[in-house]
Structure 1
Amino acid sequence: MKVAYTGWTWLVNHQDNYKYEFEQFLKEVADIGYDSVENFAFITKYFDNNAEEVKGLLDKYGLEMVNLYEHFSTDPEEDYKKAGEYIDFMKKIGATYLNLQGVMWKDAPFDRPTDEATIKAYAELSNRIGKLCKENGCVAVFHPHAATPVYTEEQIDIFLANTDPAYVWLCPDTAHTTLAGMDAVEAFKKYLPRIGYVHLKDVDPDVNNSPEWPMNRFCALGLGTVDFRGVYRVLKEGGYDGVLCVELDKPLVCNYKSALVSREYIHNVMGL
């Protein structure tokens, strides 16, 4: 399995210095020992769609960018058009996976009733993008995410029932799975046949910590209660040989420290 780290958190503070921050991200994760990276698809804009420049930086630090991450909007045709642009960029830099995510809300209430119509609309769009990915040698994976219409077990089941397994895979996230009330190990067992990509992060079990925005409870691997040994065992015994991508939305100290803590945990606990 490849061990990756996501880099968008390096790119959110310095609006006029994206290229420097992106290279700093690569420099730091390479130093820590990751072999692969992912990033939000907005880097195509930051680099004016210059894939050669991005590929040059990846090669400089001996890293493979495995994934670009596309966020859906309220305009499915625009999302499909952008997916085509991202796929073209991915092919030029050697990336394989296009991660898809529904629109995220930031206003109360945090948990909302299942919106089956929206989930089916996402499924239809994901099928179209997934077919486009497959035609271009890439893989579409959908990421269930807190504060989006596809998050809970019920919502994931509806989405999967309405997507073609030949075109759309799942990217479960250990933290979002846990936050949604599922046992991560059992969820990975259930969805194993559809898992195409994996996000890893841990969760502080204290529900009184930031109840207004529970995603603030996410933490580096080993600092919460997710059973990563169990998750890894399910994946390994099930024949999964893809990417394990670590992500942390809000590092407690700095990006480098959190990435280091998680990389050491993966090495010590999973032997990777």
Structure 2
Amino acid sequence: MTRLGIQLIIFGKRSGDDLPGVLADVKAAGYDGAEVGNPTTSVAAHDYKQLFDDAGLACAGYHTGVGALTDLDHVRETAAHMNTVGTKHLMAGGKWPDAAGYEDAAQTLNAAGEILESEGISLCYHNHNWEFFDLPEGRGTGMEILLHNTDPAYVHFCFDLYWVACGGEDLVSFLQAYGHRSNYLHYKDGTFDLETKQPLTFTELGNGQVKLIEATRVVKTLSPAWITTEQDRVAEGGDPATSAKISADYARSVLGI
């Protein structure tokens, strides 16, 4: 069964200062769980698990950078922390200027992903818009390199629907072609300039340009473990808890998640 999560980026600094209060707001908004940064080196795993247990929530996943995965001892430490907390998805993102950078990143992902998979954890590459930009010397795009140079047994994808669309892809066609590589998705909405492939605003689900209803028809055939909302920031003067609830209500009532 697919569960509904939220990336805590929407709460900004408060997630670090008042995590129990943030999780209480997440629970009140109607989510099943929350995705966080990587707390492995800052909070003991049992203590972190207790925070989620007290809130009545699951930890949907951790988020890190691909650069951190080059330290395989740290990868193993992260896996142990995640298994104690009870979360099974590690998101990782990055950005490189050329094909060689993406090829190296693919090998980093393969090595870390093999370790994580052996510990029952899915490593999921999280995209932005830049993976869909043409690379120098006619070497295609970063996304093409990552898709074709990572081992599907060890590397999954956390496709972010907003960034896929902002990057100029037809969202439905993209999910039909590559959705099988994803067991965890980010649902983000907002506006963007298709000519420049650049973001303009981030909004609650249902208030932007992303074709979420059409995309969800495909996503439901994939049966991902989590669909996690992600709103990078709220409008000036806005309240994160209110925006979080708007997105949860849309996901539940309109998208049927």
DSSP-derived class of the 1:182 partner: coil
Aligned ranges for residues 48-197 of structure 1 at < 5 Å?
48-73=42-67, 77-78=70-71, 80-103=72-95, 115-147=98-130, 150-152=131-133, 154-197=141-184
Structure with higher strand content: 2
Q: Give the letter for the 2:70 counterpart.
A: E
Contact kept, 8 Å, 1:101 with 1:143, in 2: the verdict is yes
Moved more, 252-261 or 95-104: 95-104
Q: Give the letter for the 1:7 counterpart.
A: L
Point out where structure 1 has 5 or more consecutive residues left out of the alignment: 105-113
| Two-structure CA RMSD over aligned residues (Å) | 2.3
DSSP-derived class of the 1:270 partner: coil
Contact kept, 8 Å, 2:180 with 2:222, in 1: the verdict is no
Q: Residues 156, 270 of structure 1: CA spacing in aligned structure 2 closer, same or farther, 3 A cutoff?
A: same
Contact kept, 8 Å, 2:179 with 2:222, in 1: the verdict is no
Contact kept, 8 Å, 2:166 with 2:193, in 1: the verdict is no
- Normalised by the length of structure 1, the TM-score is 0.83
Q: Give the letter for the 1:219 counterpart.
A: T
Q: Give the letter for the 2:150 counterpart.
A: T
How far does residue 158 in structure 1 lie from its aligned partner after superposition?
1.2
Residues in 1 aligned to 2:20 and 2:198: alpha-carbon distance in whole angstroms: 31
Contact kept, 8 Å, 2:40 with 2:77, in 1: the verdict is no
Q: Within the alignment, does 1:44 sit opposite 2:36 as a pair?
A: no
Q: Deviations over 1:154-200 (max 9, x none)?
A: 32121111011100011111111111011222211111221121000
Residue in structure 1 matched with residue 186 of structure 2 by the alignment: 199
Residue in structure 2 matched with residue 267 of structure 1 by the alignment: 252
| Corresponding residue pairs, total | 248
DSSP-derived class of the 2:177 partner: helix
Contact kept, 8 Å, 1:11 with 1:22, in 2: the verdict is no
How far does residue 225 in structure 1 lie from its aligned partner after superposition?
1.5
Contact kept, 8 Å, 1:7 with 1:22, in 2: the verdict is no
Q: Give the letter for the 2:114 counterpart.
A: K
Which one of 205, 208, 224 corresponds to residue 241 of structure 1?
A: 224
Residue in structure 2 matched with residue 30 of structure 1 by the alignment: 27
Contact kept, 8 Å, 2:126 with 2:158, in 1: the verdict is yes
Residues in 1 aligned to 2:247 and 2:69: alpha-carbon distance in whole angstroms: 35
Q: Deviations over 1:94-149 (max 9, x none)?
A: 00001111148xxxxxxxxx6110111110000011101111011111011235xx
- Normalised by the length of structure 2, the TM-score is 0.88
How far does residue 53 in structure 1 lie from its aligned partner after superposition?
1.1
DSSP-derived class of the 1:38 partner: strand
Residues in 1 aligned to 2:61 and 2:225: alpha-carbon distance in whole angstroms: 12
DSSP-derived class of the 1:204 partner: strand
How far does residue 39 in structure 1 lie from its aligned partner after superposition?
0.7
Contact kept, 8 Å, 2:99 with 2:145, in 1: the verdict is yes
How far does residue 70 in structure 1 lie from its aligned partner after superposition?
1.0
Per chain length, whose mean CA-contact separation is higher, i.e. which structure has more relative contact order (CA < 8 Å, sep 6+)?
2
Residues in 2 aligned to 1:140 and 1:235: alpha-carbon distance in whole angstroms: 19
How far does residue 205 in structure 1 lie from its aligned partner after superposition?
4.4
Residue in structure 1 matched with residue 202 of structure 2 by the alignment: 218
Q: Residues 76, 195 of structure 1: CA spacing in aligned structure 2 closer, same or farther, 3 A cutoff?
A: closer
